[in-house]
Chains A and B, each alone.
Chain A
């Protein structure tokens, strides 16, 4: 071995099983040590923000689903809350609580996918199968309520698409009661596993200052001990009424972020059970003919409802002139929508501040000086979705 080994440049991606999509990382290596690491993004840029400008607000909803495709409903929630803020409407309590339930289920589903793939990347096959077993139960529940598995698109501006099907709440209750038991299975495989600990502990340590400098959010920030959770810091959807903890780590390494996400799934279960206990009967959408679609039975029998339906479909919801910024806690971090309205039914400009894009920026800092195999652990621990990065 010479004193100054030759540097080798390796392209990881855009097709690589562990980059969680189409991320390309240009890695400069000295032996096995990463000297420089430059992420190259844009391989999944689909122009969602530009497409939104040509669509009515209702038509934008399916586009938001596909921003972070592991947590479709969480993106819907961010978008509808922003538009509702601009409209100045408040949804009825039943709709609000159902939104909380679906959003927290989405959080569990997203974290389960992260758990399965992250463990798989580091060489553990079984957690993937365990995690997918429970994730499929959630997919079934989404399907029952909205008809779609991956993209329920169940929220609407001003409420929900339809009421819950019969017996759905019982199934969700059953899931939330059995899920903490199932989580013990995952923990038995990973938490005290010496290989897992060697691969994750002290890998990718982030200090509090670094988190603040890079504006990181979500479990990546909480792993370093910053209790920043939008649900607690700036509550929306009535999160202030719920009793839940914001788990934080101490060392800010990959292992701590793992523990934070595991605890978040348990807390989400608690929130869902509380929301189910309080779930009232009543309307699922605001009583405002300029925002909410009329009942289908009325459309066929009353001329006013027919006209209302026609106008909402043809013209869309007219949103008053102005601009709005609304942030929510998506599974991967802080998701914010900034919408500028010019008074028409289409957004003049819609911008999504997505957590993956911001969190990805820290990858080069984390990987430099580490082994190449740690890069895979680091990509997993930031929990990025490339559509969320590129939009």
Chain B
């Protein structure tokens, strides 16, 4: 019947049956370019990387030369026993554990302050977003210049760098931050400053968006109930913001574990101050340097990196799910708006699953998170010592 109607209208030339058969494939045709590329550059690499990681001592050169490799977990063992990799792991974890909490806390503070003011809010928001639109290598070089000393002939360098100038202005001694002979902690401080500076805009954007989404009436209600400011912050703002906080922390950790280009920006590809190359090497740096000569090791390291990121993400997701209550509210709204049975059923379904979570107190969830942080710090210390 439909066929007839369509025909009489004279728009469709194909029969209904043909249309159906074509429709079956149409989706795949639209997807074809993406799928071909994904197959070559995403799916195949997943398989191949796992394969290479399990072939002991694999290198492309030898493979092309016709060599065969023994199957086993030797690559993973080698990676974990290799002192260079331990340095990388230690640096990466240390940077993560330092930068994620600092940047999240600062971003939260800035976002809350921005949310509390009216004049200049737009202007300041724009300024705080500026570092996002930068080239992390290029601005890394600016930071390097700010911390850099220019050594002349005399005992004191010709120029100690603007940061040291500021320190001296406040009566401190100047510090060798990144030049030859600089100490590890100083290097780390520079990296933390740069990474936090770089990470702030994204976090502020997300958190401010979250804050502006919070119903103002909660604050009015709190005001009516004479709630002190700090209590409004800890009991209302932070819990209501927890989904965004979780998001920011997860992306922060993922970014942190993949830290590389900001270090290249400041220290160059030697990944450390002059005379102490690779002191600040990271896991990604390790992987890149193994590409082209030791693919087996590189693959194993990449998989370890993936495992760490995966684990951290899962823990964070678990925690954020426990503290998430926002889904329920939107569902309740949905239910009110949509009396139709189908929609109500849809709304009811996630409701049930979330109710389970609602019984777990956010306090517990956040303490799990805190515990994870402590474990991570402990790990970092163990590797360090």
Pair from one complex: no
